[in-house]
Structure 1
Amino acid sequence: MPFVELNSNLPASALSQDFISKFASFTASVLGKTEDRMNVMVNPGLLLMVAGSCAPCVMLSISAMGVTDTADKNKEHSAKIFDFLTRELSLTEDRIVLRFLSLQPHQVGKNGTVMSFL
Protein backbone atom coordinates (compact mmCIF):
# COMPACT_ATOMS: atom_id res chain seq x y z
CA MET A 1 0.00 0.00 0.00
CA PRO A 2 2.44 2.68 -1.20
CA PHE A 3 1.89 6.37 -0.59
CA VAL A 4 3.23 8.54 -3.41
CA GLU A 5 3.24 12.32 -3.01
CA LEU A 6 4.48 14.53 -5.82
CA ASN A 7 4.93 18.20 -4.92
CA SER A 8 5.82 20.70 -7.62
CA ASN A 9 6.00 24.38 -8.32
CA LEU A 10 4.80 23.67 -11.87
CA PRO A 11 1.32 25.09 -12.44
CA ALA A 12 -1.53 22.59 -12.75
CA SER A 13 -1.87 23.65 -16.39
CA ALA A 14 1.61 22.17 -17.05
CA LEU A 15 0.28 18.69 -16.20
CA SER A 16 -1.74 16.68 -18.68
CA GLN A 17 -5.36 15.86 -17.79
CA ASP A 18 -4.43 12.22 -17.29
CA PHE A 19 -1.10 12.81 -15.51
CA ILE A 20 -2.18 11.41 -12.13
CA SER A 21 -3.64 8.28 -13.75
CA LYS A 22 -0.50 7.70 -15.81
CA PHE A 23 1.72 8.41 -12.81
CA ALA A 24 -0.24 6.07 -10.53
CA SER A 25 -0.11 3.28 -13.09
CA PHE A 26 3.58 3.85 -13.71
CA THR A 27 4.59 3.93 -10.04
CA ALA A 28 2.48 0.84 -9.35
CA SER A 29 4.40 -0.98 -12.06
CA VAL A 30 7.78 0.25 -10.80
CA LEU A 31 6.99 -0.82 -7.23
CA GLY A 32 5.45 -4.15 -8.27
CA LYS A 33 2.02 -3.26 -6.87
CA THR A 34 -1.45 -3.26 -8.36
CA GLU A 35 -3.08 0.11 -9.01
CA ASP A 36 -5.81 -0.55 -6.46
CA ARG A 37 -3.10 -0.61 -3.76
CA MET A 38 -1.73 2.82 -4.69
CA ASN A 39 -2.36 6.10 -2.85
CA VAL A 40 -1.20 8.97 -5.04
CA MET A 41 -1.30 12.71 -4.45
CA VAL A 42 -0.13 15.36 -6.91
CA ASN A 43 0.25 18.90 -5.58
CA PRO A 44 1.09 21.42 -8.33
CA GLY A 45 1.57 25.17 -7.96
CA LEU A 46 3.46 25.12 -4.67
CA LEU A 47 6.20 27.43 -3.46
CA LEU A 48 9.23 25.12 -3.68
CA MET A 49 12.98 25.41 -3.84
CA VAL A 50 15.36 22.66 -4.92
CA ALA A 51 19.13 23.10 -4.71
CA GLY A 52 18.78 26.80 -3.91
CA SER A 53 16.62 27.59 -6.93
CA CYS A 54 12.90 28.17 -7.42
CA ALA A 55 13.12 27.11 -11.08
CA PRO A 56 10.54 24.44 -12.05
CA CYS A 57 11.06 21.40 -9.83
CA VAL A 58 9.54 18.30 -8.26
CA MET A 59 9.91 16.78 -4.79
CA LEU A 60 8.63 13.23 -4.70
CA SER A 61 8.12 11.07 -1.62
CA ILE A 62 7.42 7.35 -1.80
CA SER A 63 6.49 5.56 1.42
CA ALA A 64 5.90 1.83 1.22
CA MET A 65 6.27 -1.51 2.96
CA GLY A 66 8.91 -3.90 1.66
CA VAL A 67 9.70 -2.17 -1.63
CA THR A 68 11.71 0.87 -0.48
CA ASP A 69 13.84 -0.82 2.15
CA THR A 70 17.19 -1.25 0.34
CA ALA A 71 19.60 0.95 -1.59
CA ASP A 72 19.55 -1.47 -4.54
CA LYS A 73 15.75 -1.37 -4.84
CA ASN A 74 15.65 2.41 -4.53
CA LYS A 75 18.42 2.87 -7.10
CA GLU A 76 16.36 0.86 -9.58
CA HIS A 77 13.13 2.70 -8.71
CA SER A 78 14.90 6.04 -8.92
CA ALA A 79 16.25 5.49 -12.44
CA LYS A 80 12.80 4.58 -13.76
CA ILE A 81 11.02 7.41 -11.96
CA PHE A 82 13.55 10.03 -13.10
CA ASP A 83 13.08 8.83 -16.68
CA PHE A 84 9.28 9.16 -16.40
CA LEU A 85 9.31 12.58 -14.74
CA THR A 86 11.90 14.14 -17.04
CA ARG A 87 9.94 12.90 -20.05
CA GLU A 88 6.43 13.79 -18.80
CA LEU A 89 7.23 17.11 -17.12
CA SER A 90 10.11 18.33 -19.29
CA LEU A 91 12.38 18.75 -16.28
CA THR A 92 16.08 17.97 -16.04
CA GLU A 93 17.23 15.45 -13.44
CA ASP A 94 18.81 18.15 -11.28
CA ARG A 95 15.32 19.67 -10.74
CA ILE A 96 13.88 16.47 -9.27
CA VAL A 97 14.44 15.12 -5.76
CA LEU A 98 13.12 11.76 -4.53
CA ARG A 99 12.69 10.56 -0.97
CA PHE A 100 12.07 6.89 -0.18
CA LEU A 101 10.62 5.95 3.19
CA SER A 102 10.28 2.38 4.39
CA LEU A 103 7.10 1.73 6.36
CA GLN A 104 6.35 -1.03 8.82
CA PRO A 105 2.90 -2.71 8.87
CA HIS A 106 2.06 -1.13 12.24
CA GLN A 107 2.57 2.35 10.73
CA VAL A 108 -0.26 2.07 8.17
CA GLY A 109 -3.92 2.12 9.16
CA LYS A 110 -6.69 0.58 7.07
CA ASN A 111 -10.23 -0.67 7.73
CA GLY A 112 -10.21 0.46 11.36
CA THR A 113 -6.95 -1.30 12.25
CA VAL A 114 -3.34 -1.41 11.07
CA MET A 115 -1.83 -3.54 8.35
CA SER A 116 -0.18 -5.77 10.97
CA PHE A 117 -3.61 -7.27 11.68
CA LEU A 118 -4.91 -7.54 8.11
Structure 2
Amino acid sequence: MPFLDLLTNLPASSFPEDFLKKLCSFTADVLGKPDDRMNLIVKPGLPMWIAGSCSPCVVLSISAIGVTDTADKNKEHSAELFRYLTRELSLTEDRIVLQFHKLEPHQVGKKGTVLSFL
Protein backbone atom coordinates (compact mmCIF):
# COMPACT_ATOMS: atom_id res chain seq x y z
CA MET A 1 0.00 0.00 0.00
CA PRO A 2 2.34 2.78 -1.21
CA PHE A 3 1.71 6.39 -0.30
CA LEU A 4 2.78 9.18 -2.64
CA ASP A 5 2.87 12.80 -1.51
CA LEU A 6 3.68 15.27 -4.27
CA LEU A 7 4.46 18.77 -3.03
CA THR A 8 4.93 21.47 -5.63
CA ASN A 9 4.83 25.16 -6.36
CA LEU A 10 3.19 24.41 -9.71
CA PRO A 11 -0.46 25.50 -9.91
CA ALA A 12 -3.28 22.97 -9.54
CA SER A 13 -4.11 23.46 -13.22
CA SER A 14 -0.81 21.71 -14.04
CA PHE A 15 -2.30 18.43 -12.78
CA PRO A 16 -5.30 17.22 -14.76
CA GLU A 17 -7.13 14.21 -13.31
CA ASP A 18 -5.43 11.82 -15.71
CA PHE A 19 -2.02 12.92 -14.37
CA LEU A 20 -2.90 11.52 -10.95
CA LYS A 21 -4.08 8.23 -12.42
CA LYS A 22 -1.02 7.98 -14.70
CA LEU A 23 1.42 8.79 -11.89
CA CYS A 24 -0.16 6.16 -9.65
CA SER A 25 -0.11 3.55 -12.40
CA PHE A 26 3.47 4.32 -13.40
CA THR A 27 4.69 4.28 -9.80
CA ALA A 28 2.82 1.04 -9.13
CA ASP A 29 4.69 -0.54 -12.05
CA VAL A 30 8.03 0.83 -10.84
CA LEU A 31 7.45 -0.47 -7.32
CA GLY A 32 5.85 -3.74 -8.41
CA LYS A 33 2.62 -2.99 -6.52
CA PRO A 34 -1.03 -3.28 -7.66
CA ASP A 35 -2.65 -0.09 -8.99
CA ASP A 36 -5.58 -0.40 -6.59
CA ARG A 37 -3.28 -0.17 -3.57
CA MET A 38 -1.78 3.21 -4.52
CA ASN A 39 -2.54 6.37 -2.54
CA LEU A 40 -1.65 9.83 -3.86
CA ILE A 41 -1.95 13.34 -2.52
CA VAL A 42 -0.94 16.30 -4.69
CA LYS A 43 -0.40 19.60 -2.89
CA PRO A 44 0.02 22.30 -5.55
CA GLY A 45 0.72 26.00 -5.29
CA LEU A 46 3.02 25.81 -2.27
CA PRO A 47 5.78 28.31 -1.55
CA MET A 48 8.89 26.21 -2.17
CA TRP A 49 12.64 26.66 -2.40
CA ILE A 50 14.86 24.00 -3.95
CA ALA A 51 18.49 24.29 -5.03
CA GLY A 52 18.65 28.03 -4.42
CA SER A 53 15.54 28.96 -6.37
CA CYS A 54 11.76 29.30 -6.23
CA SER A 55 11.50 28.16 -9.87
CA PRO A 56 8.95 25.40 -10.58
CA CYS A 57 9.82 22.31 -8.55
CA VAL A 58 8.49 19.08 -7.06
CA VAL A 59 9.21 17.00 -3.98
CA LEU A 60 7.80 13.47 -4.24
CA SER A 61 7.76 11.34 -1.10
CA ILE A 62 7.27 7.61 -1.59
CA SER A 63 6.41 5.48 1.44
CA ALA A 64 5.94 1.75 0.93
CA ILE A 65 6.30 -1.67 2.52
CA GLY A 66 9.11 -3.89 1.29
CA VAL A 67 10.20 -1.95 -1.79
CA THR A 68 11.90 1.20 -0.50
CA ASP A 69 14.21 -0.46 1.98
CA THR A 70 17.57 -0.54 0.16
CA ALA A 71 19.80 1.89 -1.68
CA ASP A 72 19.91 -0.38 -4.75
CA LYS A 73 16.10 -0.55 -5.02
CA ASN A 74 15.71 3.19 -4.52
CA LYS A 75 18.41 3.94 -7.10
CA GLU A 76 16.35 2.01 -9.67
CA HIS A 77 13.08 3.62 -8.56
CA SER A 78 14.69 7.03 -8.67
CA ALA A 79 15.94 6.66 -12.24
CA GLU A 80 12.49 5.63 -13.49
CA LEU A 81 10.61 8.29 -11.55
CA PHE A 82 12.98 11.07 -12.60
CA ARG A 83 12.53 10.11 -16.26
CA TYR A 84 8.77 10.16 -15.83
CA LEU A 85 8.50 13.41 -13.86
CA THR A 86 10.88 15.37 -16.08
CA ARG A 87 8.90 14.30 -19.14
CA GLU A 88 5.39 14.79 -17.71
CA LEU A 89 6.01 18.04 -15.83
CA SER A 90 8.64 19.60 -18.13
CA LEU A 91 11.04 20.03 -15.22
CA THR A 92 14.78 19.44 -15.18
CA GLU A 93 16.22 16.90 -12.75
CA ASP A 94 17.61 19.63 -10.50
CA ARG A 95 14.04 20.82 -9.84
CA ILE A 96 12.86 17.44 -8.52
CA VAL A 97 13.63 15.80 -5.18
CA LEU A 98 12.52 12.30 -4.21
CA GLN A 99 12.22 10.98 -0.67
CA PHE A 100 11.90 7.25 0.03
CA HIS A 101 10.43 6.01 3.29
CA LYS A 102 10.40 2.39 4.44
CA LEU A 103 7.11 1.35 6.03
CA GLU A 104 6.43 -1.74 8.13
CA PRO A 105 3.03 -3.50 8.06
CA HIS A 106 2.31 -2.39 11.64
CA GLN A 107 2.61 1.26 10.56
CA VAL A 108 -0.34 1.18 8.13
CA GLY A 109 -3.93 1.00 9.33
CA LYS A 110 -6.76 -0.40 7.25
CA LYS A 111 -10.19 -1.91 7.95
CA GLY A 112 -9.99 -1.12 11.67
CA THR A 113 -6.63 -2.81 12.21
CA VAL A 114 -3.09 -2.68 10.82
CA LEU A 115 -1.74 -4.55 7.81
CA SER A 116 0.17 -6.95 10.06
CA PHE A 117 -3.17 -8.58 10.90
CA LEU A 118 -4.77 -8.58 7.45
Normalized against structure 1, the TM-score is what? 0.96
Deviation of 1:14 (Å): 2.1
Q: Using the alignment, how far apart are the partners of 1:40 and 1:15 within structure 2?
A: 12
Identity fraction in percent: 70
Match of 2:44 in 1: 44
Q: Using the alignment, how far apart are the partners of 1:28 and 1:56 within structure 2?
A: 25
AA matched with 2:43: N
Match of 2:88 in 1: 88
* Structure 2 counterparts to residues 1-118 of structure 1, below 5 A: 1-118=1-118
Q: Using the alignment, how far apart are the partners of 2:93 and 2:3 within structure 1?
A: 22
The total of aligned residue pairs comes to: 118
Greater displacement, 32-41 / 16-25: 16-25
Greater displacement, 37-46 / 13-22: 13-22
AA matched with 1:97: V
RMSD, aligned α-carbons: 0.9
Q: Using the alignment, how far apart are the partners of 1:50 and 1:67 within structure 2?
A: 26
Query: Structure 1: which 5+ runs fail to align?
Result: none
Deviation of 1:67 (Å): 0.3
Q: Using the alignment, how far apart are the partners of 2:69 and 2:17 within structure 1?
A: 32
